[in-house]
Amino acid sequence: MGSYFLAHDAGTGGNKAVLVDVNGNVCATAFAPYETHYPHPDWAEQDPEAWWQAIVTTTRAVLKQSRVSPKEILGIAHTTQLLGIVPVNGSDAAPLRPAIIWLDGRASHDAQKMMAKFMGPRVFSLFSGAALTGKDGLPKLLWLQANEPEIYNKMDCFLDVNGYLTYRSTGEKVMEWSCASAFGFEFAKKDWMRDIFKYIGLDVDKFPRLVRSIDKVGGLTKTAAKEVGLLEGTPVFGGGGDVMGTAIGSGAIGEGDGHIYLGTSGWVGVSTAKSFIGDNGIVCMQSSEPDKALLMAEMETAGACLKWIADNFYQSEKADPKVKNVYALMDERTKTIPAGSDGLICTPWIYGERSPVSDTWVRSTFFNLSASHTREHMLRAVYEGVAYNLRWMIEVVEKKFHYPLPVLRLIGGGARGEPWMQIIADVTGRRVEVVAHPMEAGAVGVALTAAVGLGIYPDFLSLKKVVRVDKEYLPQGCNKVCYEEMYHTYRKIYSCLQHLYHEVNEARFSKCQ
């Protein structure tokens, strides 16, 4: 009889259930999508019940696929999108409103009002590392308090995505440390920033109880067990945020080790025992490791940019039954265009940006588009634009925080595309390593975290030997000069157009309120 962990990776587009054995091997996977709703400009909401139904569907699917008995499941853990807000009340599992998710930027004015209490964005950034945006958690709670007071007053607490799924599984209302650090978490005390919450006018008692990633929060309730097809009482662990789960699953968990995630969004993360004040939109968050932090630079859209160009420029190929994978086709088409896309640059800021520029109002731009450019030029420019943004974040990490990153561990769905991996190696000038099962890295990471919680592994550092590298890419010197020139032009675009982004998008948003 084997021993397994069931890990759920609840992202923006859907939930992936991954059955992981105690050695970190992926034994079965299943995916169920759910929708994101955009009821107003800059709003983004999801139905928490859709999350749970995806958990039910995928759990049953991996059990059927693997033929593993429920008795062999040692534990369950979730790694999820951060910054979700789900107001709940009493013992009723039904949320009081749709979830406000991380992509939502409705609270820009609330962010400004909050920072005004700290003498404005510039002063606020000095002690927090970045100015607040409408996508941050505390401004969204202030928005809820001001615009939906009946919901705010009725809720006994709010939960994030991980907390809601844990609640549906166990009946316990909690928030895990790493998820809490996306709202307001004191590293030294390992507690909520209670004084800050009181100062800005939020009710401290509406923040849930805190737990660690490795803590057993409870067991599956009778109702939940019946729904998902597992045994009542199966242990459910604290789990954590998607960023933190992938950091563990990347294997880059030694002091100063760096990784890059490429999914819907993207980020550069560095594991460290130190605690920093952030800069350039880079933040210091609680790691899944209770005694460590994760230095993180997040870009709002990475793979989402490829989805956008696939949906809008490759519709016929997507509809062609002969094309099994449009993204594999796009990878091949990218190879037909030279490095630098013949002078075309794409900024990948389709939903605003966090790092290296923290700006809700910025949007994507194709710069220097001419009649000689084709859709394939635009395609390669998107790949390269994400790589330019990653390089910018990496350079800030190295310069401001003094963590050299000569090697980058790549994970996420984007890591499957060999041309993209080579472009990133060429643009950044670093060796790129891709782990086995890069799409399941987050789930593997949270499963191994639960294994530490059960004592199967003595500590997190021992997990470094568990995660193996599958492929590596070295920078090609022939593209160095071209990418140096293009990158330095890319760096100038935001400062040259910043006022125009604000002029157009702030006005548009205000008219829609």
CATH number (domain holding residue 150): 3.30.420.40
Within this chain, do residues 487 and 350 fall inside the same structural domain, yes or no?
A: yes
pLDDT for 358: 84
Domain range for 490 is: 303-392+478-511
Radius of gyration of the CA atoms of the chain, in A: 22
Helix (H) or strand (E) holding 174: strand 174-176
Q: Please give the Cα distance from 252 to 336 (Å, whole number).
A: 33
| pLDDT, average across residues 56-70 | 97
Are residues 166 and 49 part of one domain? yes
Vertex 276: Cα angle to 270 and 278 (nearest 5): 85
Mean pLDDT, residues 426-451: 96
* Whether residue 53 is found in the same domain as residue 166: yes
For residues 329 and 458, membership in a common domain is answered with no
Give the DSSP letter of residue 216: E
* Mean pLDDT calculated for residue range 447-473: 95
Is residue 129 very low, low, confident or very high in pLDDT (cuts 50, 70, 90)? low
For residue 136, give the nearest of 109, 116, 176, 97 by alpha carbon: 109
Q: Among positive and negative, which fits the CA dihedral 488, 489, 492, 494? A: negative
Q: Distance between CA 408 and CA 393 in Å, rounded?
A: 13
Strands 293-299 and 283-286: antiparallel
The whole-number pLDDT of residue 371 equals 98
Assess whether 416 and 371 both reside in one domain: no
Query: Shortest CA distance to 394 belongs to which of 346, 355, 364?
Result: 355
Within a domain: residue 246?
no
What pTM does this model have? 0.87
Q: What is the pLDDT of residues 255-306, one digit of tens each?
A: 999 999 998 889 999 999 988 777 777 888 999 999 999 999 999 999 999 9
Q: Could you tell me if residue 413 is inside a domain?
A: yes
The answer to whether residue 416 scores a pLDDT higher than 70 is yes
**Does residue 509 carry a pLDDT above 70?**
no
421 and 284 assigned to the same domain: yes
How many structural domains compose the chain?
Answer: 3
Give the confidence band of 343 by pLDDT, cuts at 50, 70, 90.
very high
Same domain, 353 and 321: yes
Does residue 128 surpass a pLDDT of 90? no
As given in the structure block, the two tokens for residue 263 are 């999914």
Q: What is the pLDDT of residues 176-234, one digit of tens each?
A: 999 999 999 998 899 999 999 999 999 999 999 999 999 999 999 999 999 999 999 99
Residue 7 above 80 pLDDT? yes
What pLDDT is recorded for position 511? 59
472 and 488 housed in the same domain: no
